[in-house]
Amino acid sequence: VDLIWADSADPADFFWAHRGLSGSYPENTIPSLSAAYESGAKWIETDVDICDDGTLLICHDSTLDRTTNVSGRAVDLVAEDLAHVDAGGWFSPKFVGTPLPSLDEVVALVNETGGNLNLELKPTEAGARAAHSLVSGVLDELEAIEDPSRVLISSFSPLLLATLHQAAPQYPIACLFEQATLGPDWLTVCELVGASAIHPELAGLTREMVQEFKAAGLQVHVWTVNDLATANKLRNWGVDAVFTDFADRFIAAWAN
């Protein structure tokens, strides 16, 4: 692959760490997020959901089954259920005992490192009231980050994004789309929620689509790109960043 990085741009701006360094660490844990920053990534991505008692949960799936040693849906859990969860052993025996992080800990890491955070609000299965609690809980935690431009809020749910944007317009917003939901109304959705970025799925993405997103004035961040040849092609198309599970390797490869 002929890698293009002829300009002075920094590869650390291009490769965003999807659930942290999730190729080498248990996703969405502090070791994964912290290793991503240590490897030079400027942006980490993580997912936040809400439990039955209003506790915020850093977890990608709507259940804990795949990524921890317990099972259950976020909507059925309370804080006590999360206290002794092992979120590392499923990935490798090396990580047995890794706790589930709180959003508070993620925010502390962002502040310690001076990094940037893309926080994805998971569409809660608990309905509109919980959606409101999710947004207000997240906003309470984010207050500890002084500069709102270091945070990018994304979601597949226009309701969550619009609710957040109305309450706290200082935070940049990104609309997430799967190809299946990327219909002709993408621009209307982005405008309605005040988005400055669009996060389309890689599968089915074309150069023409990227050009349309850019022509609309949006930053384009594509998920999830785990090979360098594809990353290279997307950069040629004008994509601003890609989410990858291998931010460490890709930043190093491109820098050399």
Which stretch, 4-12, 42-50, 161-169, 180-188, contacts Ca ion (CB under 5 A)?
42-50
The strand pairing partners of 56, in sequence order, are 50
Among 28, 154, 157, 244, binds ligand G3P (CB under 6 A): 154
Q: Which 3 state secondary structure label does DSSP give 92?
A: coil
Q: Which does 176 bind (CB under 5 to 8 A by kind): ligand G3P, Ca ion, none?
A: ligand G3P
- Read off the DSSP letter of residue 74: G
223 in contact with ligand G3P (CB under 6 A): yes
The number of residues that bind Ca ion (CB under 5 A) is 2
Question: What Å distances lie between residue 193 and 17, 117, 167, 176, CA to CA?
Answer: 25, 19, 12, 12
60 an active-site residue? Answer: yes
Matching residue, tokens 């890698």: 3
What is the pattern of x (binds ligand G3P, CB under 6 A) and - over residues 169-208?
Answer: -------x----------------------x---------
Q: Where are the beta strands (DSSP E) in the chain?
A: 15-18, 43-50, 56-58, 116-121, 151-155, 173-177, 197-200, 219-222, 241-244
Q: DSSP of 124-184, one letter per residue?
A: -TT-HHHHHHHHHHHHHHHTTSS-GGGEEEEES-HHHHHHHHHH-TTS-EEEEE-GGG--T
18 an active-site residue? Answer: yes
Rounded to a whole number of angstroms, the minimum distance from the CB of residue 224 to Ca ion is 9
Non-local (6+) Cβ contacts of 231 within 8 A are: 14, 15, 225, 242, 244, 250
Residue with Cβ nearer ligand G3P (201 or 212): 201
Of 18, 165, 199, 221, catalytic? 18
Residue with Cβ nearer ligand G3P (243 or 254): 243
Residues between 31 and 90 that touch ligand G3P (CB under 6 A): 45, 47, 60
Rounded to a whole number of angstroms, the minimum distance from the CB of residue 144 to ligand G3P is 22
Instruction: Classify residue 196 as left (phi > 0), alpha (psi -120 to 50) or beta.
Output: alpha
Q: Which does 141 bind (CB under 5 to 8 A by kind): Ca ion, ligand G3P, none?
A: none
Q: What is the largest CA-CA distance in the chain?
A: 52
Among 14, 43, 47, 175, binds Ca ion (CB under 5 A): 47
120 in contact with Ca ion (CB under 5 A): yes
The number of residues that bind ligand G3P (CB under 6 A) is 11
Question: Residue numbers of the site for ligand G3P (CB under 6 A)?
Answer: 18, 45, 47, 60, 120, 154, 176, 199, 223-224, 243
* Positions marked active-site: 18, 60
